[in-house]
Amino acid sequence: MVEPAHLIIGLRAYGDEDSFKELEFQIRQSKAYFPSAFVISAICGKKAPKKVQSIIDKIIHYSDKLVGLTTPLNELIKYTKNVRANQLILTDADNQHIFSEVRKAYDEGVKVKADAVIPIRKNKNLAFSDNKVIDRITLEEVENAFLRIKTGCKLIDPQPGLIILLNQKAIRSLNLERIPSMIGDLVITDQLLREKYRIIELLVTIRRQERTLINVQREMVKVRQFEKYFGLSFKEVIKTVQESPNIYLKNGTVNELEFLLDTYSKTFMK
């Protein structure tokens, strides 16, 4: 398949020694599977070493500190809008997503003339950096329930850390300027659904998550931001999930729900 003239691959990365190794690998993989793409990374933390700078087309270093998940997405989207690129692939640079799989998903999206591809992660395995005994997969399903309750979303995996946008109209409809720091991934899906774009889902194999910067405290902050954005309390979302687990729990377990609510309450207890 012929590459489009203006395909951008945007990699969201945190700047430390291990992350730069992952980023370097993902840059090389993205160029191998998308030879004509313009590859860009939005990075916080340390600035990228020369080795990384020499193989990437552009770097946006937006902060010396870790400021959340939304800002890098916003920076990548803004850049794509400014250069009027036709297509944008947004993904984390943590080696979770495999570029041969990204390529397959992209090709299928182009083939069927979709506006966007939101993949379904096969063999999903998520954890927290602080090794707390909490089921992150169930928690992610409850987070997704905020979106399902508000929009009727039936997508299986609405915040997979990878989204493929296939035309300027879909790209330009996104706006994360005033979106809270941790929830940009799900908000992108929300905005696409509200505009009624044609979204296709494809099963993609991913790598096992070996490390993460997300801890339980940050995830609870994320939940609080979902509460404000969607106008629903975590408690009422949990109750809705408990009442209809077949609708809201694509993965995860009902038995974990009360523990998640208790963890949330204790996190913000004064």
Flag whether 91 is in a domain.
yes
Flag whether 222 is in a domain.
yes
For residue 206, what is the DSSP state?
A: B
Query: Treating both helix axes as pointing N-terminal to C-terminal, what angle do 184-194 and 136-151 enclose, rounded to 10 degrees?
Result: 30
Domain of residue 180, residue span: 7-267
Q: CATH number for the domain including 103?
A: 3.90.550.10
Identify the burial level of 6 via C-beta atoms within 10 angstroms of its C-beta, where 0-12 means exposed, 13-18 middle and 19 or more buried. Answer: middle
Flag whether 231 is in a domain.
yes
Q: What does the pLDDT read at residue 123?
A: 83
Flag whether 212 is in a domain.
yes
From first to last of its 270 residues, the chain has per-residue pLDDT tens of 334 448 999 999 998 888 999 999 999 999 999 999 999 999 999 999 999 999 999 999 999 998 999 999 999 999 999 999 999 999 999 999 999 999 999 999 999 999 999 999 998 777 676 666 788 889 999 999 999 999 999 999 999 999 999 999 999 999 999 999 999 999 999 999 999 999 999 999 999 876 677 788 889 999 999 999 999 999 999 999 999 999 999 877 899 999 999 999 998 875
b or e along 66-97 (b: 16 or more beta carbons within 10 Å of the residue's beta carbon)? eebbbbbbbbbbbbbeeeebebbbbbbbbbbb
Measured CA to CA, the distance from residue 252 to residue 167 in angstroms comes to 34
Flag whether 55 is in a domain.
yes
**Total domain count, the chain:** 1
b or e along 170-208 (b: 16 or more beta carbons within 10 Å of the residue's beta carbon)? bbeebebeebbebbbbbbbbbbbbeeebebbbbebebee
Flag whether 127 is in a domain.
yes
Which residue type does 102 have?
Answer: V
Q: How many helices (H) and strands (E) does the chain have?
A: 11, 9
Relative to beta strand 87-92, strand 162-165 is antiparallel
Structure tokens at 83: 């250069």
Kindly provide the residue ranges of all beta strands, DSSP E only, lying in 64-213, ordered along the sequence. Answer: 87-92, 116-117, 120-122, 162-165, 199-200, 203-205
Flag whether 1 is in a domain.
no
Flag whether 248 is in a domain.
yes
Relative to beta strand 120-122, strand 58-63 is unpaired
